[in-house]
Structure 1
């Protein structure tokens, strides 16, 4: 396949900054990690809703420092700096779930593919193949608490170019699932949906329970619910049971073998795997 065209930075700025909700938007050809770059920008005082997009990442990170690498122009690698005012740091755990909701809804509408979410940070296609990952870094700055939210999506990769697995799941892309899209249009729609979703969250009280409508939107996409799961916390700590719910704090509620319902925070989890046989 021919190399896909680059993103048009001016078109993106016109839509998302000049006539949209974002403060600043930059596109770079290559960087190590857009999240790492925006963490530095957050500490330097960059504005709420600053966006950084890279055509290629050479040191992209997933959860637990797992690598995320993609050829130039083939994927979406975008990070957004958010500065919500929250009364509790734990409320920020909802931000990657909001991003997952926006991503899943956008991909479904733009491609017709059955995008679903694996709690807390993966988007899957056909229920079992990973096409996107989400990473949120919380940053304490002189201007207050900030979150750098990173989203990586496999867009134009052919099946033969994808790694064998990602976090225990086989990898895929939109193209490998038979859908070709314009990256700029997909990115614009994703960032617009993310802004709408995150603004709805801010309009409530981010320090307490999330808006019930947002919670239902996430639950409707979450393929983890109803499954037997194995939660690995690191060391020898393991929880096996059935994923029963996502609570108002964004935690996965697992019913253990003893029948007790145990809420699990994403920050405490090293691996979440299916335990179904």
Structure 2
């Protein structure tokens, strides 16, 4: 059973006619984690934003995107907004971009949860406090009263994960969630994503160019190059028997770069097989 089915997705820039993703089709099984990998500019992030319908107005798309059998491309923006967060949750690469810099982070959390669930301020505070403690954030009430620029990238990522725990979405799309973090924070945030899947049983699309992390978290892998899917398969098949030369290049070069995790984490880092 698939939770997401993408068929003949085409994405292009209406300003110059440049085709970014010519024709992509893939599925995400319920309860599984699909990793989308490839180098910068391969079309990973723009594909995920297309699912959420969050690309800039000049970026157009066609094709079919089914979420639990509903074609998202046919929904009004109002109906799409109801699904975002509550059913489809996106965690961005840079935590700072997810929050209004002029407000303390608690304002964003309260507005989001009140809009989707109608909970009181007290209910929201209690639920967020428990979730933030669950992702190892100390003194959640103090954190909620701080501005985004006062918090580290790792803390902002954990707040977004905590928000996802409270919202209990059907699928989480994580777009390069560890790229902007230092090595230790990367390891800790990946562990939180693994815990999230184990505790909630939700589906996940995990976008990354870090194959060490992918190897640890994903069930299946989709490899993109210049907007096209060049290979797909189970994680073990991709890492042990990649067919496409580009995939073999990624596996050999990127895994070699991630061996520092093993050294830093004493042999138990995300690059471990």
TM range (shorter): under 0.3
Q: Which of the pair has the greater relative contact order for Cα pairs under 8 Å at 6+ separation?
A: 2
TM-score normalized by the length of structure 2: 0.28
Q: Which has the higher helix share?
A: 2
TM-score using structure 1 length: 0.28
